[in-house]
Amino acid sequence: MFKTIVVGVDGRDGGRDALALAGSLQRVFASDLVAVHVFPVDYYLGRGANGAYEEAMHERAAKTVRDDVQRSGVTALAVTVADGSPAHALQRAASGHDADLIVVGSAHHGRVGRVLAGDVTAGTLHGAACPVLVAPHGQREYGRALQTIGVGFDGSPESRAALELAHEIATAIGAHLRIIDVAMPPGPSEPFAAYRPDWAEHVQIRREEAEERLAAVLAELGDIATGDLPFGDPARQLAYAAKDLDLLVTGSRGYGPIRRLMLGSTSSKLVHEAPCPVLVLTRSASHEPEAAEATAAGQAS
Tell me what pLDDT residue 99 has.
95
Instruction: For residue range 64-95, list pLDDT tens digits in order.
Output: 899 999 999 999 999 998 888 888 889 899 99
Q: Are 101 and 21 in contact (CB under 8 A)?
A: no
At 251, which amino acid appears? Answer: G
DSSP state of 223: G
Q: How far is Cα 30 from Cα 100, in angstroms, rounded to an integer?
A: 13
Q: How far is Cα 19 from Cα 215, in angstroms, rounded to an integer?
A: 37
Sequence spans of domains, the chain: 1-143, 145-301
Instruction: Give start and end residues of each alpha helix (H) in the chain.
Output: 13-29, 43-44, 51-72, 86-96, 119-125, 139-142, 157-173, 199-221, 234-241, 265-273, 288-300
The secondary structure of 54-87 as a DSSP string is HHHHHHHHHHHHHHHHHHHT---EEEEEE-S-HH
CB atoms under 10 Å from CB of 300, counted, come to 6
Tell me what pLDDT residue 292 has.
38
Please report, to the nearest 10 degrees, the dihedral formed by the alpha carbons of residues 85, 89, 90, 96 taken in order: 170
The distance in angstroms from the start CA to the end CA of the chain is 41
CATH 3.40.710.10 describes domain 145-301: no
Does 260 score more than 50 pLDDT?
no
How far, in Å, are 288, 290, 292 from residue 301 at the CA level?
20, 17, 14
What mean pLDDT comes out for the span 212-222? 94
For residues 27-60, one letter each, b for 16 or more C-beta atoms within 10 angstroms of the residue's C-beta and e for the rest, the string is ebbebbbbbbbbbebeeebbeeeeeeebeebeee
For 259, the 3-state DSSP assignment is: coil
Q: Which fold has domain 1-143?
A: Rossmann fold (3.40.50)
What mean pLDDT comes out for the span 185-194? 53
> Who has greater pLDDT, 139 or 54?
139
Same fold, 1-143 and 145-301: yes
Instruction: For residue range 90-122, list pLDDT tens digits in order.
Output: 989 999 999 999 999 886 544 444 444 445 666
